[in-house]
Amino acid sequence: MQASSKQMYQYPLHVIFHPFDGYWELKYERNQRNSLLIAFMILVLLVITKILHAQYSGFLINLSNPKYLNSLLEMVYVIIPVLFWCVANWSLTTLMDGEGKFSEIFMSTCFALVPLFLIHFPWIWLSLVISAQETAFYYFSNALAIAWTVYLLFVGNMTVHQYSPAKTVLTMLLTLVAMAFMAFLCLLFFSLVQQIVSFVVTIYQELVLRG
Amino acid sequence: MRRSTWNTRKSVIMGMICLLLFVQEASYVSADGKTDAYHYSFWGDAVPAPAAYEATTIITGKKLNTTPMKEPSDMHVTANQHVFVLDSGNGRIIEMDRNFKLVRTIDSFVQEGKEDHFKNPQGLYVTEKGHMLVADSDNHRVVHLDEQGKLVKIVSEPKSDLLTADFQFKPMRIVMDKGERIYVMAEGVFDGFMEFSADGTFSSFIGANRVQVDPVEYLWKRFATREQRSQMVMFTPTEFTNLDMDEEGFIYATSGDRGKDPVKKLNAQGTDILRREGYQTPQGDLLYTQEAGPSRLIDVDVGDSDMYSVLDSSKGRIFTYNGDGYLLHIFGGIGNRLGQFNTPVALERAGDRMLVLDKALGEITVFQTTEYGRTLHEAVRSYYNGDEDQSSVLFAQAAEMNANLEYAYAGIGKALLRQKEYAESAKYFKRSMEPKGYSKAFLLYRKELLREHFSWMMSGLFLAVAAFVTIIIVRRQKRRTTNAGIK
């Protein structure tokens, strides 16, 4: 038990520093259930980071209106893109001879998000003690985190689906396009449902008022 | 019995939860005219504010013991607070003294031995020497009279290669600078203001508005056929609606529809040098309904210390900004009460008073500053003059009267910074949403804090490093012994 809990936090760190090894292990050697648990935990930590960042990060870098802070929405902003990415990626790669299962795609994506959490979380507190000139460091590390994450996503995709690098890049770009399509369809769907609901409500009101 | 108490308790708890769920914060006042005075916060919300001006009297033709004003269109106040009103419908200029007593009316002038009259004049400007310039619109000329009302010169029908052959000169608004150059806003001219040299010859255009192109519209236009294109609206630069000149000779101009920047400050080259450091760019109302549309700014008045006010004709409101572009206060409105207007056309400041000319009603509403307005103006003035201590005291007073005035907190912050109260200063800058000032104060505070606690922080760090090294050494030692044991 002791050993596994130690591995619990060591493994994601291993993945982000040795992505090729790490993702290989993830796909072929490790206990899937355990990895899935870690993936979920990473997601939860990222959500927490996002919420704390919006609420507590320093005045110089935090330009969100506290009046409109909504933790549920912050949560949605993290989870929906990840979910969209995974679904779009899975849908595409099944057509493009990818070898990854959905759970593998999900896990690899979550593991790729570790740098975001790792870099953003300390910045919530560091940002309280920086001056305007030092915000450059903040923006730099922000960019670094994103670049790292993209790199990890790339390696993860390549390993999970057993693609060539060029094909991985292509898949990732197509995944973005697919995400846009999904967002469009979702909005369309919701707006249609809304209209149907309002139509039914209007008819009901009409009946009640006449009857 | 117990069950029923539990039930009531449960319903109370449920009720409380419902209240918690549906509770709403105290709503802000909206900009729909429910209150006269409001303000825009850093986040662009309309928040309540005390009135900076209150209406005291209305000046009509009757009160001046003369015939009623008919469609007056412009107004000017001189340094000695004499008010000149251009009574367009009657083709005359009315001069009042500072107590709004009639001094004289000028409805004609002598040109080459003959008496000449104005025909629907639209613009009036009075120079420091008391010379009057009238944009005599329907006569297509500018009339320059001296302080006695004698004709100095007439500027009409400019000739230039810059103008088309069929150009018709119809001046609407006018200013004159210290070098006696005349700047004219003429109808149908999209190239900016027409500049005339001292002898009345046309020299050039200055300060044209840039063409604003809507990308979507541009795309449609690219796909349209020639016939369709001729049906579409042309991309034309927006016309100016008014202009005023400050003491240093910079022209402040307003343009009617909300382009990128409806207020401009033009230098001699015609480049816009208005400072827009405020929370929002000067543009009148930030919040407006789709039907009402954005503010239509039709007059600008520059006061002292770089403060300027603009008049919004669609809602009848007056917005005052300081030289940096921070919104100071908003007042006025369309309505039937004292302090509201029907069709406001011109705005002038006369010392502590603000005059607004109503075209349809032919009357002038006189506003007097309230204590809040005076404090705020005085604070801005002292800051402009470099008296920061005085200004911070006044800003503190203004902030006490209006807690929503975020701009004032920066003034307090600046004073505290000079008094070396860095932590407090940072707090005020933060409240004022002023990252630059905050950063400065915070940096000094941090430095101070570090100096104070340097010794124990350094020793703590040293101890931590020592402990870490010891642990590593001990561990290594242990491992070596266990390894030795295995051997």
How far from A187 is each of A71, A182, B170, B391, CA to CA, in Å? 22, 9, 54, 53
Contacts of B26 in chain A (CB under 8 A): none
- Mark which residues 28-87 of A lie under 8 Å from B by CB: 59-60, 65, 67
Cβ-proximal residues to B475 (8 Å cutoff; 6+ apart), any chain: none
Distance CA B350, CA B304 (A): 11
The predicted pLDDT at position B36 comes to 67
pLDDT at B193 over 70: yes
Residue B439 touches partner A, C-beta closer than 8 Å: yes
Contacts of A133 in chain B (CB under 8 A): 439
pLDDT band for position A1 (cuts 50, 70, 90): very low
pLDDT at A145 over 80: yes
Verify whether the Cβ–Cβ distance A131 to B443 is below 8 Å. yes
The chain-wide mean pLDDT, for chain B, equals 86
Contacts of A56 in chain B (CB under 8 A): none
What is the DSSP track for B436-487? HHHHHHHHHHHHHHHHHHHHHHHHHHHHHHHHHHHHHHHHHHHHHHHHHHH-
Q: Which two three-digit tokens encode residue B52?
A: 């900076």
Contacts of B430 in chain A (CB under 8 A): 59
- Mark which residues 155-184 of A lie under 8 Å from B by CB: none
B212: number of Cβ within 10 Å: 13
Q: What is the DSSP letter of B334?
A: B
Helix (H, G, I), strand (E, B) or coil at B358: strand
Nearest to B86 by CA among B98, B100, B77, B73: B73
Contacts of A65 in chain B (CB under 8 A): 43
Q: Which two three-digit tokens encode residue A115?
A: 């740098």
- Mark which residues 22-51 of B lie under 8 Å from A by CB: 25, 43, 45
pLDDT at B485 over 70: no
Half-sphere exposure at residue B102, Cβ-oriented, CA atoms within 13 angstroms: 15
Question: Least CB-CB distance to B439: which of A65, A67, A131?
Answer: A131
Report the residue of B47, B443, B453 to disrupt the A interface, i.e. the one with the largest count of A CBs within 10 Å: B443
Verify whether the Cβ–Cβ distance B446 to A132 is below 8 Å. no
Residue B166 touches partner A, C-beta closer than 8 Å: no
Contacts of B435 in chain A (CB under 8 A): 59-60, 132
Distance CA B275, CA B256 (A): 20
pLDDT band for position B394 (cuts 50, 70, 90): very high
Instruction: Give the model confidence (pLDDT) of A146-167 as tens digits.
Output: 999 999 999 999 999 999 999 9
A74: number of Cβ within 10 Å: 20
* Stretch among A85-94, A184-193, B206-215, B276-285 having the lowest mean pLDDT: B206-215
Verify whether the Cβ–Cβ distance B446 to A131 is below 8 Å. yes
Helix (H, G, I), strand (E, B) or coil at B180: coil
CA A200 remoteness from chain centre: 37
pLDDT at B23 over 60: no
Closest-CA residue in chain A for B426?
A: A59
Residue A133 touches partner B, C-beta closer than 8 Å: yes
CA A73 remoteness from chain centre: 14
Verify whether the Cβ–Cβ distance A60 to B436 is below 8 Å. no
Query: What average pLDDT does the segment B69-90 reach?
Result: 91
Cβ-proximal residues to B323 (8 Å cutoff; 6+ apart), any chain: B275, B305, B306, B307, B384
Distance from CA of A134 to the nearest CA of B (A): 10
Facing residues of B155 across strands? B142
How far from B218 is each of B42, B190, B214, B235, CA to CA, in Å? 34, 20, 6, 9
Contacts of B43 in chain A (CB under 8 A): 65, 67
Verify whether the Cβ–Cβ distance B446 to A129 is below 8 Å. yes
Instruction: Give the model confidence (pLDDT) of B360-390 as tens digits.
Output: 999 999 999 999 999 999 999 999 998 888 8
pLDDT band for position B16 (cuts 50, 70, 90): low
Q: Which residue has the higher pLDDT, B18 or B454?
A: B454
Verify whether the Cβ–Cβ distance B443 to A65 is below 8 Å. no
What is the DSSP track for B371-433? HHHHHHHHHHHHHHTT-HHHHHHHHHHHHHH-TT-HHHHHHHHHHHHHTT-HHHHHHHHHHTT
CA B425 remoteness from chain centre: 27
Instruction: Give the model confidence (pLDDT) of B400-456 as tens digits.
Output: 999 889 999 988 898 888 888 899 999 999 999 888 999 999 999 999 999 999 998
pLDDT at A4 over 60: no
Report the residue of A59, A70, A137 to disrupt the B interface, i.e. the one with the largest count of B CBs within 10 Å: A59
How far from B148 is each of A17, B96, B132, CA to CA, in Å? 88, 15, 9
pLDDT at B29 over 50: no
Share of chain B above pLDDT 70, in %: 91
> What is the ipTM score, two decimals?
0.78
pLDDT band for position B175 (cuts 50, 70, 90): very high
Q: Where are the alpha helices (DSSP H) in B23-149?
A: none
Distance from CA of B404 to the nearest CA of A (A): 15
Query: What average pLDDT does the segment A96-114 reach?
Result: 92
The predicted pLDDT at position B174 comes to 92
Q: Are B128 and B142 in contact (CB under 8 A)?
A: no
pLDDT band for position B487 (cuts 50, 70, 90): low
Contacts of B453 in chain A (CB under 8 A): none
State the residue for tokens 């000329």: B141
**Number of CB pairs, chain A paired with chain B, less than 8 A apart:** 22
Instruction: Give the model confidence (pLDDT) of B219-234 as tens digits.
Output: 888 888 888 877 776 6
Verify whether the Cβ–Cβ distance B43 to A65 is below 8 Å. yes
pLDDT band for position B14 (cuts 50, 70, 90): low
Distance from CA of B28 to the nearest CA of A (A): 12
Helix (H, G, I), strand (E, B) or coil at B243: strand
pLDDT at A106 over 80: yes
Closest-CA residue in chain A for B440?
A: A131
Closest-CA residue in chain B for A133?
A: B439
**Angle, CA of B198, B199 and B205, to the nearest 5°:** 65
Contacts of B410 in chain A (CB under 8 A): none
Closest-CA residue in chain A for B450?
A: A129
Q: Are B441 and B429 in contact (CB under 8 A)?
A: yes
pLDDT at A87 over 60: yes
pLDDT at A104 over 50: yes
Contacts of B440 in chain A (CB under 8 A): 131-132
pLDDT at B25 over 60: no
The predicted pLDDT at position B33 comes to 41
Distance CA A94, CA A91 (A): 6
Cβ-proximal residues to B269 (8 Å cutoff; 6+ apart), any chain: B206
How far from B362 is each of B85, B172, B333, B349, B449, CA to CA, in Å? 10, 19, 17, 18, 64
Instruction: Give the model confidence (pLDDT) of A31-60 as tens digits.
Output: 888 899 999 999 999 999 999 999 899 888
Share of chain A above pLDDT 70, in %: 97
Question: With helix as H, strand as E and coil as C, how does chain A read?
Answer: CHHHHHHHHHHHHHHHHCHHHHHHHHHHCCCHHHHHHHHHHHHHHHHHHHHHHHHHCCCCCCCCCHHHCCHHHHHHHHHHHHHHHHHHHHHHHHHCCCCCCHHHHHHHHHHHCHHHHHHHHHHHHHHHHCCCCCHHHHHHHHHHHHHHHHHHHHHHHHHHHCCCHHHHHHHHHHHHHHHHHHHHHHHHHHHHHHHHHHHHHHHHHHHHHHC
Q: How many helices (H) and strands (E) does chain B have?
A: 8, 27
Q: Which residue has the higher pLDDT, B33 or B422?
A: B422
Verify whether the Cβ–Cβ distance A133 to B439 is below 8 Å. yes
A178: number of Cβ within 10 Å: 19
Closest-CA residue in chain A for B443?
A: A131
The predicted pLDDT at position A2 comes to 44
Verify whether the Cβ–Cβ distance A132 to B430 is below 8 Å. no
Residue A208 touches partner B, C-beta closer than 8 Å: no
Verify whether the Cβ–Cβ distance B438 to A67 is below 8 Å. no
pLDDT band for position B259 (cuts 50, 70, 90): low
Residue A3 touches partner B, C-beta closer than 8 Å: no
Q: Are B428 and B412 in contact (CB under 8 A)?
A: yes
Contacts of A59 in chain B (CB under 8 A): 430, 435, 438
